[in-house]
Structure 1
Amino acid sequence: MSFIIWIVVGGILGWLASLVMRTDAQQGLFLNVVVGIIGALLGGWLLSPLFGAGTINADDFSLMSLLVSFLGAVVLLAIVNLIFRGRVR
């Protein structure tokens, strides 16, 4: 069941992060899910120790874990934009 939650919540978080970073027109449903899940992993690695919360990948489903996962997805999109476009939007 947690795999389905990863996909659904990861897709929503990836979509919200793509709206914030203004890359929504370039991404489809699949990339939103990938950005959400990988962003949650990145958030767990970078941001989780700072906030003292888990991520959606660690089966910690709380408001703080959603925030950490969302911020990880935004950081991931910023890194991708920096690498491929030379600037962060």
Structure 2
Amino acid sequence: MGIIGWIVLGLLAGAIAKAIMPGKDPGGIFVTLGIGVAGALVGGFLGSAIFGIGLDTFWSFQTWIVAILGSLLLLGIYRVVVGRRVKA
């Protein structure tokens, strides 16, 4: 999958992760979408390292699930880390 495909997948995965985890994010929509791109990469890496599945093709169902789960993971970590800093 090309770099533009990765970016589009990550942006969409970030938007879906934001819809799944509603609430106020400390960084706004652009940070959330950036986390989506990074989450897609992290999800692909962890999926291939642990389960042997990764980000193979853009239209594959497993690609989307792995990218969304990676985005949810990073979004959750981001909220915990930055949320503590903002409140303290």
> Under a length normalisation based on structure 1, what TM-score does the superposition of the two structures give?
0.71
Q: Where does 1:1-89 land on structure 2 (aligned, <5 Å)?
A: 2-23=2-23, 27-28=28-29, 30-55=30-55, 60-61=56-57, 62-86=60-84
Q: Is the 8 A contact 1:15 1:24 kept in 2?
A: no
Unpaired runs of at least 5, structure 2: none
Q: What is the CA distance between 1:66 and its match in structure 2?
A: 1.2
Instruction: Considering Cα pairs closer than 8 Å and 6+ residues apart, tell me whether 1 or 2 has the greater RCO.
Output: 2
> For the aligned residues, what is the CA RMSD?
2.3
Identity %: 36
**AA in 2 matched with 1:77:** L
Q: Which amino acid aligns with 2:19?
A: L
**Contact 1:43–1:71 (8 Å) recurs in 2:** yes
Structure 1 stretches of 4+ moved >2 Å:
23-28, 30-33, 44-52
Instruction: Say how many residue pairs are matched.
Output: 81
- TM-score normalised over the length of structure 2: 0.72
After TM superposition, give the deviation of residue 24 of structure 1 in Å.
7.1
Q: Distance in 2 between matches of 1:84 and 1:67?
A: 25
Q: How far apart, CA to CA, are the structure 2 residues paired with 1:16 and 1:27?
A: 15
Whole-Å separation in 2 of the counterparts to 1:6 and 1:35? 13
CA deviation after TM superposition for structure 1 residue 42, in Å:
1.5
Kept in 2: contact 1:12–1:32 (CA 8 A): no
